[in-house]
Amino acid sequence: MADKIIGGAAYGGDGWSPRNRSLKQEMGRIWTRCGQSNEWGLLKAVLLHKPGPELNKSANPEAVQMLAPMDPVRAREQHATLVKCYQDQNVSVHLVNPGKSTLPNQMFVADLLFMTPEGAIITRPASTARAGEERFVARRLADLGIPILRTISGKATFEGADAAWLDAFTVLIGRGLRTNSEGIMQVSNVLAEMGVEVIVVDLPAGTMHLMGMLRFADQNLALAWPRRLAYKAVQALEKRGYQVVYIPDEVEATNGFALNFVTLGPRHILMPAANPVTREFYELLGITCITVEVDELVKAAGAVGCLTGVLERAEA
């Protein structure tokens, strides 16, 4: 009997089957296919949150970190249109579906996760007004079968909109109001295991996220807000072959969130409507622009990019 036990499959006997594939190789087999290692490849899947009654709390915008009171009905209609825009572009849309009332900024999913080639890092928002939103994203990713590599812990703070892939081996992270040094260290440790380097830049006072000053339209084209993007970031971009082009209209950037777009594929973006000067500028760069009305949602201090958690992009 003892010989049979020792020689059994459970103890490494003939029936033992070793797990030799890497986590990345298990994508599409054990785990749901997901991952990101660039900011411009074909967008395949996103995570959004359909806003509900929590938007009624915007009546007191300062208390919930918004810019102005929202019309909740109109905001929900605009979000539904955003979902349809993605679906019309053959992007799979998954919804957070918290299952109960949540916090009013839950819809800004980009802040709540950061996708890597091997799965997601669950973030830890910096303010008490958003503390706990990450729980619902973690649960939804688990339900979808997407690996969660790390949940930011301790006193670290990190929001996904503060990080961007420069290439498959480099991530740029902005340190500032929303992301602190401890959060960067935890993210860096996860990425180091994949052979990915982190470049840290400090964000100017009075800015929210790296996303608000830098977006990518193609493998060699970055769009930036003049006088905001750190010189160190510009150097890192140019070293990797990017042309850094500065947006022409700061009024549209401020009021219309013209830079807050999502790249659907090379030189193909989904951007906020009602930004004619910036749209024409993008089109002169060879960028195809699809527009969506988000002027009501913008009152919550975010637009298309902030609303969108990227789950999968095509590899470079």
pLDDT band at 2 (very low <50, low <70, confident <90, very high): low
**82-116, pLDDT tens digit by residue?**
999 999 999 999 999 998 889 999 999 999 999 99
Cα–Cα separations (whole angstroms), residue 33 to 29, 36, 47, 192: 8, 11, 14, 22
Bigger pLDDT: 17 or 316?
A: 17
Cα–Cα separations (whole angstroms), residue 124 to 129, 153, 158, 316: 12, 7, 5, 29
- The answer to whether residue 243 scores a pLDDT higher than 70 is yes
Q: What is the pLDDT of residue 166?
A: 98
Which pair of tokens denotes residue 87?
A: 């679906």
Average pLDDT over residues 250-271: 98
Query: Distance (Å, rounded) from C-alpha 165 to C-alpha 174?
Result: 12
- The answer to whether residue 316 scores a pLDDT higher than 90 is no
- The answer to whether residue 178 scores a pLDDT higher than 70 is yes
Specify the residue for token string 């959060």: 183
> Are residues 48 and 82 in contact, defined by beta-carbon separation less than 8 angstroms?
yes
**38-68, pLDDT tens digit by residue?**
999 999 999 999 999 999 999 999 999 999 9
**120-132, pLDDT tens digit by residue?**
999 999 999 999 9
Mean pLDDT, all residues of the chain: 96
Q: Write down how long the chain is.
A: 316
Average pLDDT over residues 72-89: 98
Q: What is the pLDDT of residue 100?
A: 82
Q: What is the pLDDT of residue 7?
A: 77
Percent of the chain topping pLDDT 70: 98
- The answer to whether residue 3 scores a pLDDT higher than 90 is no
Average pLDDT over residues 152-161: 98
**220-232, pLDDT tens digit by residue?**
999 999 999 999 9
Query: Distance (Å, rounded) from C-alpha 34 to C-alpha 44?
Result: 9
- The answer to whether residue 1 scores a pLDDT higher than 80 is no
CATH number for the region 31-313 comes to: 3.75.10.10
